[in-house]
Amino acid sequence: MLTNKVALDKTTLDTAPSLRYIEVMATGHDVVDVRAASEKGMVVTNIPSYSTSSIAQGAIAFLLELANNVGNHNQTVNDGK
């Protein structure tokens, strides 16, 4: 199963006896009852470095925007002023 932001508690996992693999398409796995999954022989994985570079890139871009007002300058040029 590939999932994200869907709670998979013991009761829910009990309804899927043939499920063997759960991939949480995010950095954490707190939405899955990992202990219950493990007891049922289910493997639970996640994406630990999901979007790490894009988060850093976005943070720097926002800082540069705040410091230099690049978006406003860009709009002024596009408006022909």
Instruction: Report pLDDT for 71.
Output: 87
**30-38: Cβ within 8 A, 24+ apart:** 31/3, 31/5, 31/6, 31/7, 32/3, 32/7, 32/8, 33/8, 33/9, 36/9, 36/10, 37/8, 37/13
Helix pair angle (52-68, 70-78), 10° resolution: 70
pLDDT given at position 70: 86
**pLDDT confidence of residue 56:** 87
**pLDDT for the residue 9:** 97
At the second CATH level, the architecture of 1-50 is 3-Layer(aba) Sandwich (3.40)
pLDDT along the chain (81 residues), means of 10: 94 96 92 96 90 85 90 90 89
The structural domains of the chain, with segments of one domain joined by +, span: 1-50, 51-81
